Structure 1
Amino acid sequence: MHIETYISDLLYRYDCVTIPEFGAFLTKRVSATLDESNHTFFPPKKVISFNEQLQHNDGLLASYIADAEKIPYEIAVQKISKQVKSIKSFLTEGETLSFSTIGDLALNTDGKIVFEPSYNSNYLTDAFGLSEFEVSHVNREVYKQQVETLEDVIPISITPERREKRSYLKYAAVALIALTVGGFAASTFYINKVETHNQLAQEAANQQLDAKVQEATFIIENPLPSATLTVEKQQGKYHIIAGAYRVEENSDKKIAELQDLGFKARTIGVNKYGLHEVVYSSYENSNEALIALRDIRQTYNKEAWLLVRELE
């Protein structure tokens, strides 16, 4: 079993992929960057790191392997455990374990795992199809020097005819400025008149509205107490999927059933297959979502899975 293939698939969809009893691969999004030394732009990407402390089985990797290989979940857990023993033995012998699209793992002198990420793959799906590109440097200063050289070689002279034309242009410019100032003054006067008219009309309308309100005012001797309704809106891009239903009524029944159990169940819309997706709940934090997913699988539904998607 090539476990790195399954890990690579999951890194496109999740921020944390744990190998039980070994460690976890984590991803963090970074923005596009510019290498000024060689004028190269790099697209946004996911940076991969490794944390040896995160070894608890959250069920994500085992569930994915079980589904991909069509085997029971327990068998998938056993396969992972066997693979981990082989990996640890390989590292203990001083060898470097290379995951082609993820990175290299090795032990340092203190017996700790050192991870060197690979830059051959970009696990950020939003940047699919984008690649680095290099741009040429713009030599603006060189062009400026060339212009200054031309001015020294070919001086600009003004003949009497050109002076006469420039005098005409000067008078025309003065006339244009005078016309502009006069037009601006007239425009300002007109705008002030319009604003005064609008203000008077607005005051008259407000007086008529006050009179109508006074005529329609009435008193309730025993008014009903006011009620405050608080609606909690679920947020977050981590959704624990309970099921997907072709018939919307079935999804409504499932939501009611889960709400009776205390979950904040709801539907998050229709997927590309035309199925109504029902979630146990949604989370903003990936760690909280994985903890809740593990509890749901152990207690309610071992087929539940985690969907990462921003909702509109």
Structure 2
Amino acid sequence: MQLETYISDLLYRYDCVTVPGLGAFLTNRVSAKVHEITHTFYPPKKVLSFNEQLQNNDGLLANYIAEVEKIPYSTATEKIAKQVKSIKSYLVEGETIQFQNIGELILNTDGKIIFDPSTHINYLTDSFGLSHFTSSDINREVYKEEVEAIEEKAPIAFTPEKRSNLNLLKYAAAAVVVLGLSGFLGASYYNNSIESHNQLAQEQANEQLDAKVQEATFVISNPLPAATLSLEKKQTGNYHIVAGAFRIEANSDKKVKQLRDNGFKARKIGVNRYGLHEVVYGSFETRAEAQQELYNIRKEHNRDAWLLIKKLD
């Protein structure tokens, strides 16, 4: 089992991927930046880190392996535990464990796992297709320094004729500025006039339409009886507690009915990329609400439930 492949897949979608018994791989978003010396532009990215203290099984990795390999959840859990045991034995022997596209793990003298992240892949999907690039330096000519250097060698004497030319240039420049401002103000006035005209015309059209509606008389000879509709509020939010995924849609419908009979706001959220119909206990706006409900469901109803973070269309 290529454990690093599954971890790498999940890092694109989640900020934390826990490997039970080993630790958790975490991602932290970093903004775009420019290197001041090399003038290299770097796009936004996710920076990887590792926390050995987070070892409890949250079900994310095991459920993903179970879906991909089409095996039971318990079998996936056993396979993870077996590979973690092998990784730890190699670490104790002083070997370096390399997870492709993720990083390297090694044991220090204190018996703690040290993580050296890989920089080959950017797990931030918003930056897909972006790469770093280097911009060449911009050399600006400092005319003032050049003039001072020339004057030191050969001072420049301005005659009255040249000074008058300079004055003419100043006046010409001032005239250009005035004309530019006049044109800008004139264009602004014109645009504002058009906008006011359009608004007035729209208001007049609305008044005429209101007058026609008020003059019209509607007679309904056989009015229909009043109907009372009870509409269920549509669930929103990107945090979903998954109850299961089914290849046969009829089975997913049965699961939804079963959960609703038990008081849950269950529903189907579509077909995942493996062709399975996903059923959730409910959807939540915030991660805190979803985590609290997940804790209750695992405690009282289904210990294999897990949290899916997904934006639905």
Normalising by structure 2, report the TM-score. Answer: 0.63
The alpha-carbon distance between structure 1 residues 145 and 80, as it changes in their structure 2 partners (threshold 3 A), is same
2:245/2:276 contact within 8 Å kept: no
User: CA deviation digits over 1:82-114, x for unaligned, max 9?
Assistant: 111101100011111111211111111111111
Letter of the 1:285 partner, please give it: R
SS in 1 for 2:122: coil
In 1: Cα distance, 2:137 partner to 2:44 partner: 22
Deviation at residue 272 of structure 1 after TM alignment: 9.6
User: CA deviation digits over 1:234-286, x for unaligned, max 9?
Assistant: 54555647669999xx9999777645534455676898999997642334337
Letter of the 2:48 partner, please give it: I
Deviation at residue 232 of structure 1 after TM alignment: 11
| Structure 2 partner of 1:206 | none
| Structure 1 partner of 2:43 | 43
| Structure 1 partner of 2:53 | 53
| Structure 1 partner of 2:301 | 299
In 2: Cα distance, 1:241 partner to 1:261 partner: 13
SS in 2 for 1:282: strand
Letter of the 2:15 partner, please give it: D
Matched, 1:309 2:313: no
Q: Across the two proteins, how many residue pairs are aligned to each other?
A: 267
SS in 2 for 1:26: strand
The alpha-carbon distance between structure 1 residues 149 and 282, as it changes in their structure 2 partners (threshold 3 A), is farther
The residue correspondences of 1:1-312 to structure 2 (distance < 5 A) are 1-140=1-140, 142-145=141-144, 148=147, 159=161, 166=168, 235-237=237-239, 240=242, 258=259, 261-265=262-266, 279-283=280-284, 284-285=286-287, 289=291, 292=294, 295-296=297-298, 299-300=301-302, 302=304, 306-310=307-311
2:241/2:294 contact within 8 Å kept: no
1:241/1:306 contact within 8 Å kept: no
| Structure 2 partner of 1:209 | none
User: CA deviation digits over 1:286-307, x for unaligned, max 9?
Assistant: 79549817945983495x6543
1:240/1:307 contact within 8 Å kept: yes
SS in 1 for 2:283: strand
SS in 2 for 1:76: helix
Gaps of 5+ in 1: 192-230
User: CA deviation digits over 1:207-232, x for unaligned, max 9?
Assistant: xxxxxxxxxxxxxxxxxxxxxxxx99
Normalising by structure 1, report the TM-score. Answer: 0.63
In 2: Cα distance, 1:118 partner to 1:290 partner: 34
SS in 2 for 1:88: helix
2:19/2:61 contact within 8 Å kept: yes
1:238/1:285 contact within 8 Å kept: no
In 2: Cα distance, 1:31 partner to 1:68 partner: 33
Letter of the 1:309 partner, please give it: K
The alpha-carbon distance between structure 1 residues 260 and 139, as it changes in their structure 2 partners (threshold 3 A), is farther
2:102/2:117 contact within 8 Å kept: yes
| Structure 2 partner of 1:225 | none
Identity among equivalent positions (%) equals 52
| Structure 1 partner of 2:215 | none
Letter of the 1:48 partner, please give it: L
Letter of the 1:81 partner, please give it: A
Gaps of 5+ in 2: 194-232
| Structure 2 partner of 1:197 | none
Letter of the 2:101 partner, please give it: T
In 2: Cα distance, 1:299 partner to 1:131 partner: 46
2:239/2:290 contact within 8 Å kept: no
In 1: Cα distance, 2:275 partner to 2:93 partner: 52
In 1: Cα distance, 2:241 partner to 2:143 partner: 59
Deviation at residue 44 of structure 1 after TM alignment: 0.9
CA-based RMSD: 5.0
1:271/1:277 contact within 8 Å kept: yes
Letter of the 2:281 partner, please give it: Y
Deviation at residue 159 of structure 1 after TM alignment: 4.1
User: CA deviation digits over 1:1-30, x for unaligned, max 9?
Assistant: 221111111111111111111111111111
2:101/2:118 contact within 8 Å kept: yes
Deviation at residue 139 of structure 1 after TM alignment: 2.4
The alpha-carbon distance between structure 1 residues 296 and 144, as it changes in their structure 2 partners (threshold 3 A), is farther
In 1: Cα distance, 2:29 partner to 2:106 partner: 25
Letter of the 1:133 partner, please give it: F
SS in 2 for 1:21: coil
